[in-house]
Chain A
Amino acid sequence: MKELTIEAARGLLDRVRRGDETALRELQLHLGRRIYAFALNRLHNEGEAEEVVTDTLWEVWKHADRFSGTSKFSTWVLGIARNKILTALRDRAPQSEELDEELPDEGFGPFEQWQRTSEGQSVQRCMEGLTDVHRECLQLVFFQELSVAEVAQLQACPQNTVKTRLFHARLNLKKCLEALWSQPNSSARGRQ
């Protein structure tokens, strides 16, 4: 995932401030999937996750001048998305979900559809077995390509916690893959 440089982001935001709708489209193409993946991981609902994408980019459209340039552009945008996700979770009634509660995910949820499609299906299936925060941590590191400090900022935890989460995420993935691959009828043995 190619990160926009601060200069490129500023250029895009200047166009947004002038009301250039093609700049908003560029932002959506650049960040839409990233925000969606981030939101879907916590919300487990495609409609709500898409609404988070719309709400987040709309806020960027309306308040482009709030980007100070002290962080990466994507970190700033994902920070806005995080608050939209929090709001969506809080709006759910009855409230029973704690953001940082590390409960195992019991179902395969919305990732199920991708599971069946690619050669990395074993990894994907095992990713589904991770807790939300562990999976989010993996996603922020490997897909969003954020540094440990940026992940800590988004997950609202110390950097050491990020390292521990990632360590456990990888360990659990490895265990899950070993268990899957040791099954006699396993056809998903794609990666070593």
Chain B
Amino acid sequence: MSDTPASVRRRFDELVPWYVTGEIAADDRAWMERYLAENPDAEVALGWHEGLGATVDAHYSNLPESVGWAGLAQRLEADRAAKRSTAEVAPTSTRERALPVSPGIIERATQWLGELFTRPAYALAAALIVGQAAVIGYLVSNDELAQPEHSTTRGAPASIVPALEVRFRQSATEQELRALLSQAGARIVDGPDQLGDYVVVPRSATLDELRDALKQSDLVTSLRPFEWKPSNKDEVKPR
């Protein structure tokens, strides 16, 4: 099909903004230069776009240069403070371990304990305290054994939890996402990352049920298995 003057002009109109900014493929640039050479009146349109580009650029260049830096500086400072406090704990404890304990203190403690156990009333009270501590310790450990689902949240090394990485339709609203995840029995544990992907885990469904439910939704554009590593602060109750 041969090009009509209208379709040629349309191509020029489509390409001219990128010709002005230089973000154009080499063959399109060559075509534009030929067109401009053959159609001097097109220079007017080119000039208009150059003016528009300069104005749009000036329009945004008036924005404050330091925008966002105050927030970043605050976060850097918070990060540094967190690192400092971590660093300070370790050397202190090392130093404490390295320093010899004053013999005076040991002597005084031994003497005090010796005196304590020479008095029957104090000895009985001390025995009671030790006994109560043992009973409490036993009950606590039994309680933990009876509720293994909490063990992942109590400082144990984080294990891998089967999850799904989901990408939602760009136009999906927060309400729609919440409704879908609630219906499917899932919750978001991470995301969105820079690609817009969320990590979700089953809450009241199995992983297979969750996958099936999400697959059927037109809000979901991609879905894949994901091995999620929760940090200790994440609460997970795997089914």
Contacts and interface: CB of A to CB of B under 8 A. Distances in A.
Interface of A: 1, 21, 24-25, 28-29, 32-37, 50-51, 53-54, 57-59, 61, 63, 66, 76, 79-80, 82-83, 86-87, 89-95, 97-101, 111, 114, 117-118, 120, 123-124, 127, 138-139, 141-143, 145-148, 150, 156, 163, 166-167, 170, 173, 191-192
Interface stretch (B31-39, B47-55, B124-132): B47-55
Contacts of B20: 142
Contacts of B66: 28, 32
Nearest to A36: B67
B55 A123 contact: yes
Nearest to A35: B68
B196 interface: yes
Given A83-B194, A86-B196, A99-B170, A57 B68 contact: yes
B62 interface: yes
Contact of A142 (B13, B53, B170, B192): B53
Nearest to A72: B23
A114 B71 contact: no
B216 interface: no
B62 A117 contact: yes
Contact of A33 (B18, B51, B65, B175): B65
Interface in B154-192: 170-171, 173-175, 177, 192
Contact of B67 (A53, A76, A82): A53
A1 to B, nearest CB: 7
Interface of B: 13-14, 17-18, 20-24, 48, 51-53, 55-69, 71-72, 75-76, 170-171, 173-175, 177, 192-196
Contacts of A150: 23
A191 B23 contact: no
Contacts of B75: 54, 58
Given A21-B76, A58-B75, A142-B17, A191 B55 contact: yes
A103 to B, nearest CB: 13
A129 B230 CA distance: 47
B8 to A, nearest CB: 15
Nearest to A166: B17
Contacts of A124: 55, 59
Nearest to B69: A28
13 contacts: A25-B69, A28-B69, A29-B65, A33-B61, A54-B72, A58-B72, A83-B195, A99-B170, A114-B59, A114-B62, A124-B55, A148-B18, A163-B14
Contact of B56 (A36, A90, A143): A143
B82 to A, nearest CB: 13
B30 to A, nearest CB: 16
Given A24-B76, A36-B67, A114-B62, A146 B55 contact: no
A148 B19 CA distance: 11
Q: Chain A's interface: helix, strand, loop or mixed, by majority?
A: helix
Contacts of A66: 194
Q: Chain B's interface: helix, strand, loop or mixed, by majority?
A: helix
B48 to A, nearest CB: 8
Nearest to A82: B196
Residue from the set A63, A87, A123, A142 with the largest chain B CB neighbour count within 10 Å: A142
Given A95-B173, A166-B17, A191-B51, A127 B56 contact: yes
B194 A59 contact: yes
A54 B72 CA distance: 6
Contacts of A93: 174
Nearest to A59: B194
A36 B68 contact: yes
A89 to B, nearest CB: 8
Q: Which 8 A-B pairs rank lowest in CB-CB distance, beginning with the nearest?
A: A53-B68, A54-B71, A90-B174, A120-B55, A142-B56, A80-B194, A147-B23, A142-B53
Given A61-B72, A123-B59, 9 more contacts: A33-B60, A99-B170, A118-B59, A139-B56, A143-B59, A145-B22, A156-B170, A170-B17, A191-B51
